[in-house]
Every structure is written in structure tokens, then in C-alpha cells.
Structure 1
Amino acid sequence: MTKKFWQLSPAERRVLLVDQGILTQAQADFWSTQTTLPETVLLGLSENNIGQMSLPVGVVPNVQIAGKAVTIPLATEEPSVVAAISHGFKMMSQGRTIQVVKNIHGVTGQIGLQHVSASDLTILQDHQADLQRIGLAAHPTLTSHGGAIRQIQIKRVGQSDAAIIVTVDSGNAMGANIMNDILEAMARTVTQLTNAEVLFAVLTNDGRDSLTQLTVTVAFDQLTTKTWSGEQVAQRIQALADWAQTDPRRAVTHNKGIMNGVEAIVLATGNDTRAVNAAAHAYAAVSGQYCGLSHWHVETDGLHGEMTLPLPVGTVGGATKVLPSAQQALALLHQPSAVQLQAIAASVGLAANLAALHALVTDGIQRGHMRLQYDSLAVRVGATAAEIAPLAAALAAADKPSETLAQQLLSQLRHKGEN
């Protein structure tokens, strides 16, 4: 009987991916070796470091995103995340029904000014072209990498303050450092032109200038279980998704399920998980109430999903070029542009969301989740690679699995092996 991908050992998966042309042998060798980052890299990434830690990297192979097949790398310590995303993409016909409706990439920053007179505002309005020239001079490589300063806005804030809002197309960079260089150069000029006082000059992690919008259609037969028809499951998913639009408590968990997937690919590719999380949860509250980021509704041809997500990520600069594992992860994705990575990450989030909703309205979240937790429990009590699967199966069959029981079952397993 042929093993499924998730049933293979890591070594067997690497061999298969090499045979399929997804990995080169050099890439497979990289993932097979636990590499230690050199001290120079550690010092460049973090202060006061005393060492480093590792996370597993799993993959979901052969997913179609915008007509292109990719193998998606996911860095996570949560056992059920990769399995859930794989299941979500399977229900989406391996991503073939995903449509990218909107995909823009950029970054916005603010210069906050105090004690701004009416004449100061007029001066700033009149000197927008100068501010743009000075901003570009602060980062001269921006235009050579396909970027530009898109817009400069000057807005009154309250009675005596004002903000200069700058929007930049940052090319394939996430753009935080580019934006801060531009803003600080502009801020110095503002103090020369006006009597206003600069309070701050920094990017905003709002993320609405890097929005990706997806739609997907899931056929009813992909949702069917032993207990429920596909149409019934679809109706229940719609009801649960609607609940997340009106109940913030449900919405938080709904969105956490999305971010389980998004954060795993963001981390794998060396991007800023804090920035992406901040932007996503802020966007979830853009209406004034915290709501679910995805919408699901039933139509005659299946279950339709839609999600718009801010994804401030990049594929050049920062840790993407410092971490060898991030470089390898981007290679798995065929060296995507920033907007391509946004589309892939959003698709991962939608797959994770669909899998979570499907589990909740059918068997419950714990069944699949605990199957993988038993693997972790087996490792915790000292099971070898060959012992994990049989011990996890024995734990799944037990009435009350526990660490004590796991130790007992492991002893029994080893005793049988000796006889």
C-alpha cells in the first residue's frame, strides 16, 4: 500500500520531492541538516543573545496559487497547523479555485507635527514636491528597484497638530527601513521650512497599502463527511462564519485560525510576524467592531469564501536575505515577488480557516487536533522515530490519555519488541 505524504518520514519526503523536481538535491541536503547560525548572523539579528532555537518546517506540496504550482513552507510549533492547511487546500482542489481579486503592495508612514499654524500648513502644501525630492534622495535605490513615493498628504489633526502621511511603493521589500529613512529626511526639512515641532516620524503598521483579496469556491462534495452532506456542512460553515461577524469573542478565534497559517509562512520566509499580526487584527476592527476576516456563503455551485488581508511582507532585504532557511523557503516558492508572496500567504490563511470551520461544524476541533498532540506526547516521553506512530495510535484508542499512560504504553511497546 502506497503511503500518503503525511505518513512518510522526513527523509522519505525529501527523496520524493527531489524525484518530483520540487527540491534539488542540494536543497534536500540543506533541509536534512540541522544548521547552526554563525555568531555574526546571530549578532546581526538580536542583541544579548545566548544561543538560538529551532522550529520544524513542514510543507504542503503542489498547491496551485494564481495558476502556478508551489510547495508551501510552514514554520510552526503547533502540530495541527500543517495538517489543517493541507486539508483546507484539499477541499479547495489544491488551490485551483482560488482567485486573486486584488493585490497591492506598499507602506505608509506618518510625520506627526505639533504647534502647526495655518501658515505652516500652507508652506507644507506648497513644498510637497520638495519633500518628495528629499525623500527620494534619502533612499536613492528605491526607484532603481521599481519603487516610488506614491503620495504625500498633509492633514490637520485636532486644533493645533498636523500629520504628513507618506505612501511608498517599496518594490519587493517590506519597506519599513525605506519608509523610516524617507520620513526622517522629510522631517528635518519640515523643521527648516516651518515653526512646527516634529513629535515623531515613523511608518505605520496599519498595512492597508499591502492588501490582498481572494475568493474561492469549494464544491459541496469536498465538504461531505460520514454524518453530514456537503450542502449541510456548507450551511453550517456559513452560519459559523456569520457568527464571527457579530460576536467579537468568536471573531478573535476565527481570525487566530487564519493567522495560524499566515504566521507560519511569514516566519518561514523571514518576514515580520509582529507587523503582519498587528495589521491583520487592526483591519479586522476597521468597521469599528472586531469581526472575522473571512466571509463564507452558500451558492448553488458550492461554498464561496472571500477574504481581504493586509500583508506587509517582502522578498528582499532584512532577515529574508540573512537567514539561510528563509532563502531556502523562498526558493521553494520559486522566488516570488512581494505581491506573489502576499497571494500565497493569504491563500494559506484561507485554507487554515476553512479547515478549522469544517472541523468545528462536523467532528469538533479536538479530534484531528488531538491525533497530532498524541505524536507530541509520544516524543515527550522519549519515543523514538519508529515508536511515535504506534504509541500515538495506542494513546488515541485509550479512554484517558496522559503522560503517565504514555510512559506505560511505551514500556509495553518496547517489551513486545524484545520478545
Structure 2
Amino acid sequence: MKFDVSRFFEKDRKERIDIVAKFANLTEQEIQTLENSGGISFEQADKMVENAIGTFSFPLGIATNFTINKKEYLVPMVIEEPSVIAAASKAAKIAKIRGGFEMQNDESYSIGQIQVVNVDVDSAMQKILKSSKEILDLANSKSNTLSKIGKGAKEISCKEIRTDAGPMLIVELLIDVGDAMGANVTNTMCEGIAPLIEKITNGKVILRILSNYSTRRMVSGTATFEKEAVGGQETVDNIILAYQFAAYDEYRAVTHNKGIMNGIIAVANATGQDTRAIEAAAHAYASKNGRYTSLTQWDKDNDGNLVGRIEIPMSVGIVGGIINVHPTAKICTKILGVQSASELACIIGAAGLAQNFSALRALASEGIQKGHMRLHARNIAAAAGATNDQIDTLVKKMTSEGNISINRAREILGEL
């Protein structure tokens, strides 16, 4: 069934929810949850964190026009920053002309680490590798689920690191966690095999915990943006030059990558992912060659069309964690219609690439502030005390004057 999402931003809330509800086949209860700002009660919040005193809401919006691996998506995004959802939707619409986003994702392998000290590292490594089957069997006994579905601990490896405190042996456990993010099962397995590691090596185990640097869970992909839709050959060339700036200058790369993460974290927030883990891994990967650089690459094809690529670690899940307890996260995942963690990773990666395109296009043409400040003006108008009926008048007046400030908004309100 085809759904008309054109001019989605012009529709009122009820119309938007109706479109999303039909697209995702939402139940009446799920629609009511969306209409209940925040999505969770205090009682639910009190079970999630310690010392709870309330809930804190962020806007939940829908990015439209996304075609990823030939499938249509409405993409939920939770973010407080103006222009992000509109920019992602616009980018997806332009990418759609050439077939949308083509994304790939690795298997869902999590990496657990066991730190061993006070050992002869070379000798201990040999003992660990000889005992790898025993270690893996013990690790897999700590999960009642993974081994039954062909997942679980798959491989043991060792490395030595030299520190000011002396050499350390790091035993790494590679675990196929399936459709889970996998932090809990990885930590459980690491803790479960730690006594055996000590016995085998005659060393002392200190830390036993997962690594959030999820380089065995990479998502990558590409999209082609037709040069006429981008704004012409000059704009395409300017975007490539803007990317080159980020590729070779760390100060620009940080802001460049922040824009990518605007898209990525907004979708991760909506679907209940560990956003801190995603952020940490992304920025570590941007520095993998010893210098912080862009997470995307931009060039053009033989016809002069703009081609964007992204590659980024992406540790996400569709089972376990917050997604099991937060009703809005469940609904957002249902809206996406994802069947696996791999599919979710592809969507999140595409959102990052889309957002990066829109930011670069704005910077390389009209400047970032024109559209951004127009949306920001709505926040200023609301902060000044404007009612819903007055906000559009204030926004139009402030943007026409080029004076978007709380003081000017109050002055206009006084005139009204």
C-alpha cells in the first residue's frame, strides 16, 4: 500500500499520527501512547532509574521519504534541535531519485575483554589459546538463549599491551549476540570465564567487560544525489570541497561529524539504543588512523552527480534493554518495521548520511543559518510567550527583519 507523505510538515498532529498509524498498523493503545507526551508514566520511570522524581520529554518527529535497500521507511527521530528532521527528509527525497540508500551491515559481534596482570604474557597466551574450547563452552553456558539459536561466544583471541604499570594480557571474547545490543550478555560471559582465565594463566584478572568500540559491527553504505536536484554542478563541487575541509582539519571534522550524529542519535533515541556507546565508537573510529577525520566521504560519479559514503561502528539491538520496557521505543521500532538489528543499523547509518548531505549542501550554498534560524525562531516565539495562533506572525516578522531574538519577539507581542 502506498502512503502519501507529501507536505507532511503542513499537516496537523492528528493527520500525521493517522498517516503513521496506517503505515505501521498501530493499535489504538499505541496511538494513545503517542498522544501521551513522554510515553511513560512516573511509575515506569521509577523502575528504570534510581531516585526518580519525574520524566523529561523530547520532541518525537517523523523523517519522510527514506528508501533504504529498496524498502520505504518512515523514520522516527527524537531530537530537540530544529531543522534536523526536515533536513533528513529533504536529503532522503533527493536520494530517492537515484534509488535511495544502499546499506550493508556486519554480523552482530560483540567484543568482551578480560584484563590479566602479573603474568608471563607469552606463556599465558599459549595456554589460553590451547584452552579456547573449554573457555568458549563455559562462556556459552552463561546464556540460555544464544547457543540455542546458533549464536553465542565464537572465538578467543589474546593481545599484549605495554603500560607504565607493566605488560598486561588482554583476552578478548568474540560473541554473536544476534538481535540484541548485547552489553549484558557480554559482561556476564566475561565475568563467568574470569576465574577460569585466572586458573589457566596463574595471573590476576582485574577488568572483565565489553568494549563499546564495536568494530565487528560496522554499517556502511552509499547514496547518489542527482546534481540538478542538489543545485547544479557548482554546488556539487562545493560540497566535495567542504568535505575535503573536514577530511583534513580536525576542528572542522568535529562539527562535520556532529552533524552526522544528529541524524544517527535522533533515530537511536527513538528506538531506545545506547546512544553513548554509539557516540563513543563513532568518534574512536574517526580517529582510527591516528588523526580525527570525517566519518563520511564525498565525491562525484562520471555524470557529475554527488556520491556520499558512510562507514561507522553501529552496536544496536531490537530485543532486550530499554526497548522492552519503554512503550514509545517499542512503537518507534514498529513504525520502522525492522526485522533485525542489522536492518536497524542500516536505517540509522542512512539517517547519518542523509543529515550530513543536508548540512553540507546548506553550508556550500545558502549557509547553514537560513533554514536553521527560521525553525529556531519558532522556539524563540514560544519562549517569549506567544500562543499557537501568534507564533507564525512572530516568526514571519522576525525572519523578514533578520532579527531573531527573545527581546524582539516580546516587542512584537506587545505590538500585537
> TM-score w.r.t. structure 1 length?
0.92
1:315-334: CA deviations, max 9, x gaps? 11000111111001001011
**Distance (whole Å) between structure 2 residues aligned to residue 139 and residue 394 of structure 1:** 61
1:183 — aligned with what? Answer: 190
CA distance in 1: counterparts of 2:336 and 2:317, whole angstroms: 13
What's the counterpart of residue 389 of structure 2?
Answer: 386
* Letter in structure 2 aligned against 1:127: S
Which of 55, 63, 66 is the equivalent residue of 1:60?
63
User: What's 2:131 paired with?
Assistant: 127
Matched, 1:313 2:316: yes
Cα distance in structure 2, aligned partners of 1:270 and 1:41: 15
Task: Please give the per-residue CA displacement for 1:361-418, whole angstroms capped at 9, x wherever unaligned.
Answer: 00000001000000111111122223222221111112423212212223434xxxxx
**Is the aligned partner of 1:405 residue 2:412?**
no
Are the aligned partners of 1:22 and 1:71 in contact in 2 as well (CA < 8 Å)?
A: no
Residue in 2 aligned with 1:343? 346
Shift of 1:336: 3.3
Match of 1:227 in 2: none
Change (3 A) 1:102 1:322: closer
**1:82 aligns to 2:85 (yes or no):** yes
Q: Alpha-carbon deviation of 1:168?
A: 0.9
Q: Give the counterpart of 1:69 among 53, 69, 72.
A: 72
Shift of 1:240: 0.8
Assess if the C-alpha contact under 8 Å between 2:78 and 2:270 holds in 1: yes
Distance 1:358 1:23, change over 3 A: farther
Of the structure 1 ranges 19-28 and 99-108, higher mean CA displacement relative to structure 2 is found in: 19-28
Equivalent position of 1:216 in the other structure:
223
Q: Which moves more between the two structures, 274-283 or 379-388?
A: 379-388
Alignment correspondent of 2:264:
262
Pairwise CA distance, 1:152 = 0.8
Return closer, same or farther for 1:37/1:14 CA change in 2, 3 Å cut-off. closer
How far apart, CA to CA, are the structure 2 residues paired with 1:388 and 1:16?
Answer: 25
Select the residue among 128, 138, 144 that pairs with 2:142.
138
CA-CA distance at 1:19 after TM superposition: 5.6
Runs of 4+ in 1 over 4 A off after TM superposition: 18-26
Rounded Cα–Cα distance in structure 1 between residues aligned with 2:193 and 2:273: 27
Question: Residue type of the partner of 2:137?
Answer: R
Tell me which amino acid in the other structure corresponds to 2:397.
A
Structure 1 pair 240–399 and aligned structure 2 pair: CA distance change class (3 A): closer
Q: What is aligned with 1:274?
A: 276
Tell me if the contact between 1:103 and 1:342 (Cα under 8 Å) persists in the aligned partners.
no
Question: How big is the alpha-carbon RMSD for the aligned residues of Structure 1 and Structure 2?
Answer: 2.0
Provide Cα deviations, 1:162-196, integer angstroms capped at 9, x if missing partner: 11011111000001111000111111111223310
Please show how residues 348-387 of structure 1 align to structure 2 within 5 Å.
348-387=351-390
Cα distance, 1:67–1:190 mapped onto 2, change above 3 Å: same
Letter in 1 for 2:413: L
TM-score by length of 2: 0.93
The answer as to whether partners of 1:101 and 1:215 remain within 8 angstroms in 2 is: no
Is 2:242–2:360's contact at 8 Å kept on the other side of the alignment?
yes
| Unaligned stretches of 5+ residues in structure 2 | none
Question: Partner of 2:99: helix, strand, or coil?
Answer: coil
Corresponding position of 1:163: 170
Counterpart of 2:250 (choices 228, 248, 251) is 248
Q: Cα gap change, 1:241/1:22 in structure 2, threshold over 3 Å: closer, same or farther?
A: farther
Partner of 1:147: 151
Deviates more, 1:154-163 or 1:319-328: 154-163
Residues 198 and 3 of structure 1, relative CA distance in 2, 3 Å threshold:
closer
Counterpart selection for 1:297 from 296, 299, 307: 299
Checking the alignment, whether the CA contact within 8 Å between 1:89 and 1:95 is kept in structure 2 is: no
**Correspondence list, 1:25-64, <5 A:** 25-34=28-37, 37-64=40-67
Query: Is contact 1:211-1:308 (8 Å) kept?
Result: yes
What's the counterpart of residue 417 of structure 1? none
For the residues of structure 1 that align with 2:341 and 2:98, how far apart are their CA atoms? 19
Q: For residues 255-310 of structure 1, what are the alpha-carbon distances to aligned partners after superposition, in whole Å with 9 as ceiling and x for unaligned? A: 00000010001011011110000000000000111000000002223111111011
> Is 2:243 the partner of 1:236?
no
